[in-house]
Amino acid sequence: MNFLPYGRQTIEDDDIRAVQAALRDDFLTTGPKVVEFERRLAQCTEFAHAVAVSNGTAALHCACAAANIGPEDEVIVPAITFVASANCARYLGAKVVFADVDPNTGLATPATIERCISDRTKAIICVDLAGMPAEIDALAALAESNTALLIEDAAHSLGAAFKQQALGQAGAHLATLSFHPVKHITTGEGGAVLTNDAALAEKLRRFREHGIVRDADNWQNESPGPWYYEQQELGFNYRLPDLACALGLSQLSKLERFVQRRNEIAELYAQLLVDLPHVKPLTRPGYLARSAHHLYVVQVDFDAAGRSRREVMQRLRDAGVGSQVHYIPVPSQPYYAGLGEDVARYPGACEYYSKALSIPMYPALTDSDVARVVKALEAAVCG
């Protein structure tokens, strides 16, 4: 019996051929595949600009830098997310102000975020948990009326539709992607920042590459010759190699098929879970047109079932089914507790966390795999 992890990459023969071909090209790092991958990413998300970077965390760091976040600023971040969504503000010395979440969706809402706004708010980072976009249009309006930027951590939502619109039309000033193997498409490690604003795109490119300005029209000094380049601020090496972009391009051509299959799996889960006591799928927000279903999170009433989460996860593992918890509330992490956070201030996040369990979700799961997961879950929770 094969083990079913909670998530995994889908690599096919043509992906392997694409990487092999790229290995014979002239450029392994900065080459034509980077430009082409960025063009295709912008096209499929309907953003004007895409900047490929070395991973999703770097993408968040670049987005925060482009938003000019600094030590005097506050950045609002949902209490339920991966730690990177908050850490990016800390890299620039800003204070993270956590927003509580709706316990039924795990999403921070315009109401929970509005409560966190102060005159120091520089940016709102929203997270499209499990593949469900946050309420982007309302959050963008909230950001704008407080002269802040909306940064959408879209690591979970490539291929989602917000109110029938692609993510680029929904209103975020900057959006970030990750191409880690469990995400929708992979480049091994990789990420990207998306924006409709040309000036922000220029800042992102500069920050990605040491703070170096390539365009001679924007140099401060006169060029002494063809070897010249100019570093105008402090940046990093956050480039994504051409080799990785070759894989990304091949993967991106399959995005629609992958997301379609994820939606089919989600529908099957929803049908099979209807009669399962103490277990229900995460609630979909009313405005959601299409989830990208990065994760399949169920809410388990462990107390009512009389089974601990640890026991349920062990029983699932014994049945060959992987599971995980997305996520531990970030304010409860010792690093943030050390900055004065107390997770008890986030009752929605605590309630969400107490029930959350991610079960297998990736395009290669078959219908019979899905049935096997639900049987194992039933035995683990009720058996």
Pick between residue 154 and residue 161 the one whose CB is nearest to ligand PLP.
154
CB of 155 to ligand PLP, least distance (A): 3
Coil, helix or strand at residue 378? helix
Contact present, 381 and 280 (Cβ < 8 Å): no
Pick between residue 100 and residue 278 the one whose CB is nearest to ligand PLP.
100
Contact present, 179 and 185 (Cβ < 8 Å): yes
Pick between residue 56 and residue 106 the one whose CB is nearest to ligand PLP.
56
**Pick the catalytic residue: 95, 122, 163, 183?**
183
Rounded Cα–Cα distance for residues 270 and 2 (Å): 23
Rounded Cα–Cα distance for residues 180 and 189 (Å): 5
Q: Give the interface with ligand PLP as residue ranges (CB under 6 A).
A: 55-57, 81-82, 84-85, 127, 153, 155-156, 178, 180, 191
Coil, helix or strand at residue 194? strand
Q: How far is CA 241 from CA 152, 187, 277, 349, 350, in A?
A: 24, 9, 48, 37, 40
CB of 207 to ligand PLP, least distance (A): 16
CB of 309 to ligand PLP, least distance (A): 20
Rounded Cα–Cα distance for residues 278 and 26 (Å): 57
Q: With helix as H, strand as E and coil as C, how does 33-64 read?
A: HHHHHHHHHHHHHCCCEEEEECCHHHHHHHHH
CB of 327 to ligand PLP, least distance (A): 8
- The CB-nearest residue to ligand PLP is 56
Tell whether omega for the bond before 296 is within 30 degrees of 0, i.e. cis.
no
CB of 48 to ligand PLP, least distance (A): 23
Rounded Cα–Cα distance for residues 122 and 50 (Å): 22
CB of 97 to ligand PLP, least distance (A): 18
Phi, psi (rounded to 5 degrees) for 288: -70, 125
Pick between residue 85 and residue 323 the one whose CB is nearest to ligand PLP.
85
Pick between residue 190 and residue 235 the one whose CB is nearest to ligand PLP.
190
Q: Is the dihedral of CA 267, 272, 275, 281 positive or negative?
A: negative
Q: Give the helix/strand (H/E) hosting 95.
A: strand 95-99
Contact present, 80 and 105 (Cβ < 8 Å): no
Note the maximum CA span of the chain: 77
Quote the tokens at residue 142. Answer: 């909230």
CB of 172 to ligand PLP, least distance (A): 14
End-to-end CA distance of the chain: 20
Pick between residue 325 and residue 379 the one whose CB is nearest to ligand PLP.
325
Q: CB-based contacts of 149: which residues, under 8 Å, 6+ apart?
A: 67, 122, 123, 124, 143, 173, 174
Pick between residue 146 and residue 333 the one whose CB is nearest to ligand PLP.
333
Active site annotation includes 183: yes
Burial class of residue 251 in the structure, from the number of CB atoms within 10 Å of its CB (0-12 exposed, 13-18 middle, 19+ buried): buried
Pick between residue 9 and residue 372 the one whose CB is nearest to ligand PLP.
9
- Active-site positions? 183
